[in-house]
Amino acid sequence: MHTLVNERELGFIDILKEGSRIFLFKIKAFSLIALVALIPWLILLAFTQSLALQPAQINGIKIVLLILLLLIIWAVQIIAWMSIAFIVEKVVKKRDASAIEAIKYSGERWARALTTNLLASVIIFGMTLLFVIPGIVYSNYYIFVLYVVALRDKYGKDALDYSKSLVEGQWWRVFGISLGISVIVSGISFLLSKISYAPYSSYSYVTSAISFLLGMAINIMMVVLFLNNDFVNGRKLARRREREKSRRINKAPTIQEYLESSRKMRSPSRTSSRRTSNNISKKKNAAKRKSRTINRKS
């Protein structure tokens, strides 16, 4: 499959088109990943509905089970999103990858992704406590952290710095595209939620599944945005290196550089040969002067 991700900087419509095309192209792999990740969500939905129907039976054990279930869902969702990122990059590179391979790959990086996400969350929370605006700014800077861990083999502060470097210089572009994608998909999810007029009917399970799939669609498009930003950033760095290289070539040498280059040009063999030739010429001149004085005396 041919994509425009590694050809030019993509706009909002381009991101939507490329994300939709990749989703349809690998819909089987994405559906399998969604099925694996959706099972804990459906268990959570059934568990919370049973608690809501029988509030008198809520106790400490059920609360602990609810917390454990939320942690499992968080972990499974991280693996699912990383698996999606793995498959999307393979499609962009025109390579094939199965859902099982993607899940296995993401499972090996799950712990790093979890710690890096926690670090980013702590920083964003701290910025939000100071002022709301810095929290928004840094949440946009760290929007690609999960994909950096999954696809660039970085974690911790290195992953945060890498994500920030991709957003710097185009903060508003990243913010606008990600906000637009979220608004569109959230609007569709809201309309679908109106179908579930009976909160404990089978419709709620269907709409939950559809909402999860829409969340996966957001993730696919955000991966496309990440890969495109990574490509654009790499091209800018390459151009910057070329400019610096041309400047070094065309730049006039300083006095110190000129002296150093002239010293290098003077090799020991040249200086010794010059000294030898000077000594020979001096001896010849001295012999000529001596012969002239002898002739005058005679």
pLDDT tens digits, one per residue of 44-67:
777 776 766 666 667 778 788 878
Q: Give a yes or no: residue 1 inside a domain.
A: no
168 shares its domain with 209: yes
Q: Give a yes or no: residue 61 inside a domain.
A: yes
CA angle, corner 80, sides to 168 and 35, nearest 5?
145
167 shares its domain with 38: yes
260 shares its domain with 242: no
Q: Give a yes or no: residue 2 inside a domain.
A: no
Computed over every residue of the chain, the mean pLDDT equals: 81
132 shares its domain with 18: yes
279 shares its domain with 193: no
237 shares its domain with 264: no
Q: Rounded distance, CA 129 to CA 276, Å?
A: 80
Residue listed under structure tokens 């499974």: 76
Percent pLDDT > 70 in the chain is 75
Query: What are the start-end ranges of the H helices in 54-170?
Result: 60-92, 99-108, 110-130, 132-141, 145-151, 157-167
Coil/strand/helix, residue 79? helix
Q: Rounded distance, CA 268 to CA 222, Å?
A: 63
233: enclosing H helix or E strand = helix 202-250
**29's tokens:** 């792999």
Q: Give a yes or no: residue 259 inside a domain.
A: yes
113 shares its domain with 211: yes
Q: What is the pLDDT of residues 163-204, one digit of tens each?
A: 999 999 889 999 999 999 888 877 777 776 666 544 444 455
68 shares its domain with 35: yes
Q: Give a yes or no: residue 237 inside a domain.
A: yes
Q: How many separate domains does the chain show?
A: 2
- The range of the structural domain enclosing residue 281 comes to 255-297
Q: What is the pLDDT of residues 188-247, one digit of tens each?
A: 777 766 665 444 444 556 666 777 777 888 899 999 999 999 998 888 888 877 777 777
177 shares its domain with 283: no
123 shares its domain with 260: no
Residue type, 20: S
Decide: 120 and 105 in contact? Cβ < 8 Å.
no
Where residue 280 falls among pLDDT bands split at 50, 70, 90? Answer: low
Candidate ranges 36-40, 136-140, 233-237; pick with highest mean pLDDT: 136-140
Supply φ then ψ for residue 91, to 5 degrees: -65, -40
Q: Give a yes or no: residue 144 inside a domain.
A: yes
Task: Count the neighbouring beta carbons within 10 Å of the beta carbon of residue 221.
Answer: 27
Q: What is the pLDDT of residue 198?
A: 46
Give pTM, 2 decimals: 0.74
221 shares its domain with 262: no
Decide: 84 and 227 in contact? Cβ < 8 Å.
no
Q: Give a yes or no: residue 3 inside a domain.
A: no
Look up residue 252 and give its DSSP letter: P
Q: Give a yes or no: residue 188 inside a domain.
A: yes
Q: 198 Cβ partners below 8 Å, 6+ apart?
A: 204
180 shares its domain with 278: no
Q: What is the pLDDT of residue 105?
A: 92
Where residue 68 falls among pLDDT bands split at 50, 70, 90? Answer: confident
Q: 206 Cβ partners below 8 Å, 6+ apart?
A: 195, 196
What is the separation, in whole angstroms, between the first and last Cα of the chain? 105
Buried b (16+ CB within 10 A) or exposed e, 18-28: bbebbbeebee
40 or 275, higher pLDDT: 40
